Structure 1
């Protein structure tokens, strides 16, 4: 079974709950038995059950595909953010001479508007970055290329909304992408200023020179604390008439522009991304199943029953699922022969090799439950299942064969010969062959004693 993180286990449990809520109960007899055998409290058993069902129905593989798509979508959005930041830098220095406040508006205007929108949404609505989040989820689903991945996103959103973790996950995404955009703009700004000579001016029709002096000094106050230069009052006044052809003036304006970009654009996004990421990790560690939800409450009696019950109570599945051994976590050894519902006319057991054990005939609920519990604790290396092909391969028999096969490292199905004077029905025997092939089990018409004893056919 695929190794999953705690968040992914919770995610799959929520996906299975939603699936059963809208499509009806799943065929989960074996999943419930394995969850009970594994032990633990109810949340642990629910997650164990969900993991087994997800593995069987392909949801675990779909989850891995979705995560791959999500990572690829994040890479594409990061590339888009870097290109957008580069575009902002080109737009800021696209004039000759450079209007400092026009350049500053090009670099920070959209960023500050969206930052304010994000903060207001966080305080008043609790949902922010929805458009970018929906784009990321849509890209993740498209890039996953797995139809079953569509069931995963709604379950994840519902699970996170209960603990209000959406805001922090999307906040880390939004602020992280804007940080990359601002970092790209800063790097390209420095490259352009290092390779070209720019003059800086400010222009106005309505405002006075003193207004620009106060605004420039106010914007440069915090950057000056970090070591960035601020143009002097004389430089600011002189730059209103034209670009100063003085090296110190160009450097002062360039340093001021870079400092404002760092302090007002880069650092806030970095700090907010780190805070959101910290809150996301803290909330993620505290995530738990909500056992009051109807889907989980109904599982309590099945996974932690006051009395054990056996039987078939689920609707017939649309198709049989291929059998894969589930004993990888436990050591398997020895060989075992078991029979299913043989009549009294057939002598049993046959003479067995020395190292092959006989598990008897499974002809009651009690005997089936006993052998399944035994095999879940002590799985055999080789298991032979004897069946009478005169009986039809009904759903109950095939489900039992599948459960037994999953509890052994290797399995063979022995289709017994008819008693003397009788003949097997060819159509019914063909049904057995087709059903066992669909389950992915090997079968034989003669006793597999050599294989049981030595492991070789």
Structure 2
């Protein structure tokens, strides 16, 4: 699990933390006893512990895997949108010039190439400065496609969690802006590429037509639009060429080349370059803001974790160093070193004499018969895991789910673990079926078990 957490980016970790919070808000608190314990062991401030707790829960409940599926789906959705943008841009270029059988009306061609782009760019600017919802439609489409491609029911909270996380730093506008401008940049590149391909392989004539207007407005507009492209080396038709194009189809190759160069330059300068500049700007803001993302610890879902993850003794700075040698203790006073052997009983009744006579070096951890005793032992094992752990269980009791989960959790905090299925006391008889249930359940958990005393193994490490 630590390797998987290490592979996550800082954004992924905060994203999963928000997803866990939203899940708990909708479905209620998760079973987080071990997650809280691990977070306390890791240390750090409250935000660090909340994140550690959330990452452990996310890995346990499959949300980390769902995040990888969602990101794969997001990439597929982005690829689909990019392909659609390229095809749309190429279609614009083809529709603007046609098949070359008829002369091209330069202003109709320019309108079809730049009209929708400039209108949507204006709408984006208005939304950016006033509504703050620029790119929302395209963003919702991308999120919807991402969920469909992910095909993971556990990813339901990931998209809302991402939006909530980004809105705190207002990063959603930059991410959606990068998406919108990036797709339009692809579309205009495809349109420009189609124009170049068609103009290089077909002979086009260019005209402008009007019934109401004189020639001067078209001349002035053509020269004004061509002023910036001319700085980049693109040609601009002179006044004679423009007037001739309004009267009849020019036959001069020089005029054809001037109009073609003018059209390419106008599309590049007014269609492609603005999208390129805005995409780079959004990318820069996104990268800068992503490093400042942080959890809002004032949210109720996080504030409620303060007492569980930041015990009062830690908050006031009382943190004792671990002693070099830990004394032996009786039940209820567990202290175990980071090595050695430990014997603990699980819910043993008072009729059974306990503990047995222990060899030197084996510590008695008492009997776990309450939530407090279990939590205390887990806390201690987390700090000082024993090399060998034996857990005595009474096979008269049924192997319920809670007991088996506790056995597995205890075993994860020890070098080696054995389950001691105690034999019946004189005058009692074991239920063979129930004993078989114990064997089957422990085998499923992968825990070694026996009905003979493990004291020799605890003392020497072998039988």
TM bucket (normalised to shorter chain) is 0.7 to 0.9
2:303 alignment partner, one of 282, 294, 297: 297
- In the alignment, structure 1 segments of 5+ residues that lack a partner are 309-331
Cα distance in 2, alignment partners of residues 383 and 289 from structure 1: 39
Cα distance in 2, alignment partners of residues 223 and 128 from structure 1: 29
Cα distance in 1, alignment partners of residues 366 and 187 from structure 2: 70
Within the alignment, does 1:69 sit opposite 2:35 as a pair? no
1:372 counterpart residue number = 378
Change (3 A) 1:426 1:186: same
1:145 counterpart residue number = 151
Deviation at 1:336, TM superposition (A): 5.6
Deviation at 1:348, TM superposition (A): 4.5
Q: How does the TM-score come out when normalised to structure 1?
A: 0.86
Change (3 A) 1:101 1:334: farther
1:179 counterpart residue number = 185
Matches within 5 A, 1:203-282: 203-282=209-288
- Between 370-379 and 429-438, report the one with greater CA deviation: 429-438
2:111 counterpart residue number = 105
Cα distance in 2, alignment partners of residues 437 and 207 from structure 1: 91
Residue pair 2:344, 2:368 contacting (<8 A) in 1 also: no
Deviation at 1:418, TM superposition (A): 2.5
Cα distance in 2, alignment partners of residues 394 and 152 from structure 1: 34
Change (3 A) 1:239 1:148: same
Change (3 A) 1:196 1:385: farther
SS in 2 for 1:444: strand
Matches within 5 A, 1:120-199: 120-199=126-205
- Between 409-418 and 150-159, report the one with greater CA deviation: 409-418
1:39 counterpart residue number = 43
Cα distance in 2, alignment partners of residues 425 and 166 from structure 1: 63
Cα distance in 1, alignment partners of residues 264 and 388 from structure 2: 72
Change (3 A) 1:372 1:255: same
Change (3 A) 1:233 1:409: farther
Residue pair 2:362, 2:459 contacting (<8 A) in 1 also: no
Cα distance in 1, alignment partners of residues 83 and 152 from structure 2: 24
Within the alignment, does 1:441 sit opposite 2:446 as a pair? yes
Cα distance in 1, alignment partners of residues 221 and 14 from structure 2: 52
- Between 64-73 and 427-436, report the one with greater CA deviation: 427-436
Residue pair 2:395, 2:421 contacting (<8 A) in 1 also: yes
Change (3 A) 1:258 1:375: same
Residue by residue, what CA displacement relative to the aligned partner does 1:386-406 show, whole Å, maximum 9, x if unpaired? 322223335553343232123
- In the alignment, structure 2 segments of 5+ residues that lack a partner are 315-337
Change (3 A) 1:131 1:382: farther
Residue pair 2:362, 2:458 contacting (<8 A) in 1 also: no
SS in 2 for 1:240: helix
Residue pair 2:390, 2:418 contacting (<8 A) in 1 also: yes
Cα distance in 1, alignment partners of residues 9 and 243 from structure 2: 61
Deviation at 1:163, TM superposition (A): 2.3
2:15 alignment partner, one of 11, 15, 38: 11
SS in 1 for 2:141: helix
- Between 191-200 and 370-379, report the one with greater CA deviation: 370-379
Within the alignment, does 1:91 sit opposite 2:95 as a pair? yes
Cα distance in 2, alignment partners of residues 101 and 434 from structure 1: 81
Deviation at 1:74, TM superposition (A): 0.6
Residue pair 1:168, 1:277 contacting (<8 A) in 2 also: yes
Residue pair 1:387, 1:416 contacting (<8 A) in 2 also: yes
Name the Cα RMSD after superposition: 2.8
Cα distance in 2, alignment partners of residues 390 and 225 from structure 1: 92
Residue by residue, what CA displacement relative to the aligned partner does 1:189-233 show, whole Å, maximum 9, x if unpaired? 111111222121111122211111111111111111111111111
Residue pair 1:199, 1:244 contacting (<8 A) in 2 also: yes
Matches within 5 A, 1:297-376: 297-306=303-312, 338-343=344-349, 345-346=352-353, 348-349=355-356, 358=363, 360-363=365-368, 368-376=374-382
Change (3 A) 1:89 1:53: same
Residue by residue, what CA displacement relative to the aligned partner does 1:415-435 show, whole Å, maximum 9, x if unpaired? 333234432224533553565
1:60 counterpart residue number = 64
Residue pair 1:336, 1:383 contacting (<8 A) in 2 also: yes
Q: How does the TM-score come out when normalised to structure 2?
A: 0.85
1:30 counterpart residue number = 34
Residue pair 2:244, 2:250 contacting (<8 A) in 1 also: yes
Residue by residue, what CA displacement relative to the aligned partner does 1:293-349 show, whole Å, maximum 9, x if unpaired? 1111111111112169xxxxxxxxxxxxxxxxxxxxxxx987765443445635655
Residue by residue, what CA displacement relative to the aligned partner does 1:53-75 show, whole Å, maximum 9, x if unpaired? 11111111111111111111111
Change (3 A) 1:238 1:21: same
